[in-house]
Structure formats: C-alpha cells, structure tokens
Amino acid sequence: MTFPLPRPTIARPTIARALPSLAAFALAVVIALGSAGAHAAPRQMTLIIKDHRFEPAELRIPAGEKIRLIVHNQDPTPEEFESYELKREKVIGGGRKAIIFIGPLKPGSYPFFGEFNPETAQGRIIAE
C-alpha cells in the first residue's frame, strides 16, 4: 500500500510580511522625490546688450542661489561679457544669445563689462 506524498507548500507572502518592504520602498520614493526638488533648475534672468550697453546695467539676484543668466546681444556686432570677480568670460555674436551660469554668490557687488566696448558696456550684479 502506498501513501500519497504530501504536496509541497509554497510560501506565499502575506500582507503582514510585505508591509516592512512596502514601507521601505515608499520611504525611498519619498526621499528620491524630495531630493529631486532640492536640485531644481536655477532661476533664470536675462541681460540684453543694445547700443553697446547692458540693460539692465544693474542686475539684482538672490545671494546663495545659482542663476542661469541669458545674455542676448541685440547689436549686429559681437560683444564679450567679462567679469574678473565672477571669473566669467564669454563672446556673444551679434544677434545671438549665450547662457552663463553664475553663483551661488555671497552678498556683494560684482562688476562686469563688455571687453569690445568697455567705455559704454558696463554693469554690475548685486547679490543680496
């Protein structure tokens, strides 16, 4: 006489066993989403070059924040955005735009000028 062999049992997860894993996963998602917000795109500001002058000549930005500065040269000739204090130098062709990242800066005044027209193309960034 033969006896039937017992059927193997497969461990099936229960809600109680799965909760710690689900909680850990949810926490990881919340942390990932929170850190994505911390690395948001920098604030964008625009500076125009027109008649060999910067407009506005004085640009106020928040201290401690990275800025994406779009410099739009509306003159037909090239100009160079230059600042020793900001350690930035960029030639912008006539009728072209350039992106220059600035900061985060400590509070203060940071002069810049147009190297091709230094007598008229003057400005400063004020971080406050």
Decide if 7 is inside a domain.
no
88-92: strand order across its sheet? 58-61, 122-127, 108-114, 79-83, 88-92
CATH number at residue 102: 2.60.40.420
Decide if 31 is inside a domain.
no
Decide if 12 is inside a domain.
no
List pLDDT tens digits, range 2-33: 667 777 666 665 656 656 666 667 666 666 66
Decide if 34 is inside a domain.
no
Give the highest mean pLDDT range of 18-32, 33-47, 70-84.
70-84
For residue 96, pLDDT over 70 is answered with yes
Decide if 80 is inside a domain.
yes
pLDDT at 29: 66
Task: Give the three-state DSSP class for 74.
Answer: coil
pLDDT at 80: 96
Task: Give the three-state DSSP class for 17.
Answer: helix
Decide if 5 is inside a domain.
no
Decide if 65 is inside a domain.
yes
Decide if 35 is inside a domain.
no
In terms of Cα–Cα distance, which of 54, 44, 109 is closest to 79?
54
pLDDT higher at 11 or 51: 51
Task: Give the three-state DSSP class for 16.
Answer: helix
How far is it, in rounded angstroms, from Cα 56 to Cα 54? 6
90 is in which domain, residue-wise? 43-127
In terms of Cα–Cα distance, which of 77, 122, 79 is closest to 98?
79
As for how many domains the chain has, the answer is 1
User: 3-12, 77-86, 91-100, 102-111: which has the minimum mean pLDDT?
Assistant: 3-12
